[in-house]
Structures are given as structure tokens and as C-alpha cells.
Amino acid sequence: MKKKVAILGSSGGNLYSLGGKDPDKLLGELLLQLEAAGMECGSLQFIAAKGSMDSVKETTEAALYSWNEDSSEPYIKLEGTLKEVNKEAEKTDLEISEKIKNGEIDGLIFMSADPNGANKKAVEAAAKMKLPATGTGGTSMATISSKGLNVISTSGTTGTTNRTRAVTFVTSLSKHWGISYRPIIGKVTASDKSQETSPWKRINIRGMMLASLPGFIAMALVLALSKIPALSMLGDVFDLMINALPIILAVIAAKQVADLDDVSIVAGIVAGVLSTNGGIIGGIIGGIGAGLLVQYIFRKCVEWKFPATTVNIAAGGIAGLISGLIVYFLFAPIALQLGEGIRSLLDTLVGMNPIVAGLIAGLLIWPAIIGGIYHAAILPIVLLEMETSGNSFLGAVDMVGLVMVSAGITLANIVAPRDKGEAAVATPGFLINVGFGTFVEAAYPFMFSNKLIFAGAIVSSGIGGLLVGLFDVRGTAYVPSVMAPFLSDNMIGFIIAMVGSLVCAFVITLLVNLFAKKKARDKDELLSA
């Protein structure tokens, strides 16, 4: 038989700002962890106020959450003023106390509960039945313990999150009952039944690079603005942002690997600050290490029955510190040299013959993105280039070879589509490519439906890459096309390359479409004759 747990409490004072103001997420995380341990909710009484309990009044709006046994999910039993909700909560309290007396509840979880008011009857019944209880809320838990309840673990609320509280509660109950429990990390709703994956399996370098891209684009914008004489002071800001990139990547890596909300973010920041000497590769190493250690330290501290606040402090602070120091003293020089080596190799290859290098890059970039190689190999190199200069040779090829070619193909299908439906498909793709510098996949339907358009895309991309090499351009994609030239080191050259690839893709696609339409008309005339 599954152990049945009663969840009792409120959105609280301090808890309100730490998850209590969103009861659906708070309860969803707790239900998810209960399910992971093979337990289930037997009763629920949660008072959610529209403000911190430290400053509410009887007229404050509130809602009473209860448990629907038929659908096995929370529901709002009553909405009204806090006075009305508290009155209804007393009835729910009495119902739960009866269930406790009848042996229908095996344990309790308290969150900023009111043992002298809304939860009085349930606390008294649980004390008589010697049920195990765990919870947060320093004052309320001290009062609950004084009433004779078997409190197996307790903590304040400060420094906790929905996830860390839920994991702490369920771990305490699991150990008390001797139940095997492995927390589910990375899920936020009880409706998600998938199993937790190993932290090692959540390491995804491509995902980290993609998630950090906004930071690199922000740096490129600062670089462009710093070239304006009146804004030359932004040059120092650019240098500062370069040093911040490893921190950004460390935070993303730690969050991805551990996914323990604010705890993993803090660990990533600490590790990232200590990993700046290793560049973005050092930041990634530090963040991954912090993420792995966060989970390990967190679970060990919970097993040792540390208070939830202490668990968070130890996991976030110590994990980040250990990982960061390892990178600082051991891996930073290696990571920095590795990054420099990759950049030097690319610079050497481009320097030998930039025109040929651009042509080859342009011809290969479409097969690379279609084959899934782009985000795994090319994007990391682009970001490594941008780490020092704010723009990139391959970034420029990306803009002219992918974005502008996609824009040219979609524009041709707006001007002269093979059928009316294609124009409707092409229009949003064109606008997004031009307006935001992304969504090159908009050209896929047209490329995959006609081999000539596909070949034209590769040829146009090759020509664009050739022009990038000819003018020795460094730039970036993922920005509006009208802005991209200002973020490059050769504005005129970049404009020529962008226009060249767009016009080439447009003309080839237009001719293919016109030929296809003429062929269709000739066929119709032949059939009608």
C-alpha cells in the first residue's frame, strides 16, 4: 500500500516570496516528488493569500486549496476574503483530523502552517497517532513540535525553493519509512511521468552554447555602439562583458545539469567567477562541475537531515566554490590554451586563402545545418571567435549563407509562388529571417520539394561565403539583417555579401518557380485541347 501524506499549510510570510505566491507550482513540485517516492497525497489544506501573511488583513483575497480524491489533484474549494477562507479551512481541518484518527493518513507535510488555528485539529490528531511530520516555517514548526508531534525534520523557509523543499520533505519521510526514493530533477509538474535522467546525461554542450547566445549578441551590440565617437566609453563595457561570458556559460551549465532552481544558479555564478581565466571553455567546465556537485551535496545534506536552508546554502555555495577553485588552479590555463588553439587554427586556415575558405564554408553550411552538425560544431566555434573580438568569420558566413539565402528563397515564393498557398507559407519566414536573423528552416519546404532550389541554396551560400572571404568580413547572425552590418568589422563588405547571396537565391528560386508554372500551364493546355 502506498503511504498517504497530508499536506497542510499556507502561502506564508517569507514563503510567499519563495514560491508561496504560486500555489499551483508549489503543490505541483511536491506532488511530483511524492509520486517519485511511491507515495500519494491523502489530504490537502493550503491557504493561498494574495499577499504575504506578514501583512495581510481579514479582507485580503485568498483561496483554499483542497484535494479531489476522484481526480487525484488539487482544486480550489473556495475563493473569497481571508476571513471567509479561514472559516472554511476550519471545516477542512476537522475532516482531515477525522481521516487521521481513522488511520487514512500516514504522515504530514507542513508549510507555514497554523497549529493554533486552521490546522489545530489535524495537529492534535496527528500527535495522538504519533504520525511522522516534516515541514518548514520556523515558528510554526516549533509550535507543532511542542504539541507532541513526531517531527522527523524541520527547517526555516529562508533560502529554499519549491524543488528543494519538496525533495527535503519527501527524503525525510522516505528515510523514516525505509522507502527507496530518487528525486526527479528537471520536471515542474506532476503530470510529467518521465523518469529522471542522470546528471551526466543532462550535459549538453550544444544546449549550453545556444542558451548563452543572447549574451554574445549583447556583447556584439556593445562593440558596435562603442565605435560611435560619442559612445567610445563603451569600449570598457565591452571588455567587462568579455569577462562575463564564462560566468554566463557556467550558470547555464550548472542550471542544466542540476536544475535545482536558485541553488544551481548560485553555484554556477560562484564557479563562473572563479573560471573567468579559462575563457568560455573554462566557464563550461566550472558550470558542469558545479551542477554535478550541487546534486551530490544537496542529496547528502538531506540524507544527513540538515535543515533545508542549510542544505541550500551548502549545496549552492560549496559546490560552486569547489568546482570554481578546481578550474582556477588546474583547468583554466588548459581551457584558455584550447580556446586560443581553436581560434588560431581557424585564423590560419582563413588567412591562407580567405576567398577559398569562405567559399568552402558557404558550400558546406547548409549540409551542416540539415545534418545537425551546425549547432554541435560550427556554433561553438562562432562563439569562441566572438569571445575575443565580438564578431566571427563563420558568423558572417552564417548570416549570408543561411539567413540571407533563406530570405531570398522565401521572397521569391512571395513574389512568384508556384501556387497561392506557398506565398502564405513563405511570408512569415521571410519576415522573421530579415527582422530577426533566424528561422532559416523557413526555406526547407521549398528546398526539399525541388532539387534545383536546393542546389541553388548551396550555390548562393557558396557565393555569399566567397564574398565574405573576399572582403575578409567578421560578423554575426541572430540579429536583424539591417543591424548586422553595423556589428561587423567591414560594413560595406558585409552588405555586399548579404545582398549578393540574397539576390542569387532569389533569382534562382524565381526562375525555377516561373519555369514550373509555365510547365504546369502547358500541361493544362495540352489536357484541355
Domain boundary assignment for the chain: 4-177, 199-337, 353-528
Decide if 234 contacts 270 (C-beta within 8 A): no
Residue 365 CB: number of other CB atoms within 10 A?
26
Cell of 221: 551590440
- Between the alpha carbon of residue 33 and those of residues 100, 107, 167, the distances in Å are 22, 15, 6
DSSP-assigned beta bridge partners for residue 47: 10, 64
pTM for the model: 0.69
How far is residue 33's CA from residue 163's CA, in Å, rounded to a whole number?
9
Measured between alpha carbons, how far is 456 from 122 in angstroms, rounded to an integer?
73
In the sheet that 132-136 helps form, which strands lie side by side, from edge to edge? 73-81, 61-68, 40-49, 4-10, 107-111, 132-136, 150-155
pLDDT tens, the chain, 529 aa long: 889 999 999 998 888 888 888 999 999 999 999 999 999 999 999 999 998 888 888 899 999 999 998 888 999 999 999 999 999 999 999 999 999 999 999 999 999 999 999 999 999 999 999 999 999 887 888 899 889 899 998 877 777 788 888 988 998 899 999 998 887 765 444 344 444 557 777 888 878 888 888 888 888 888 878 878 888 888 888 888 888 889 999 999 998 888 777 888 999 999 999 999 998 899 999 999 999 999 888 888 877 878 777 888 888 899 999 999 999 999 988 988 888 888 888 888 888 999 999 999 999 999 988 887 777 778 888 888 888 778 889 999 999 999 999 999 999 999 999 887 888 889 998 999 898 888 888 899 999 989 999 999 999 999 999 999 999 999 988 888 888 998 899 999 999 999 999 999 999 999 999 998 888 777 777 777 5
CB 134 within 8 A of CB 34: no
Helix (H) or strand (E) holding 528: helix 491-528
What's the rounded Cα separation, in Å, for the pair 457 and 74? 53
What is the dihedral sign for C-alpha 460, 463, 465, 467?
A: negative
Q: How far is 132 from 148, CA to CA, in rounded Å? A: 11
Q: Which fold has domain 4-177?
A: Rossmann fold (3.40.50)
User: Whole-angstrom Cα distance, residue 35 to residue 174?
Assistant: 12
Residue 346 phi/psi, 5° resolution?
Answer: -65, -45
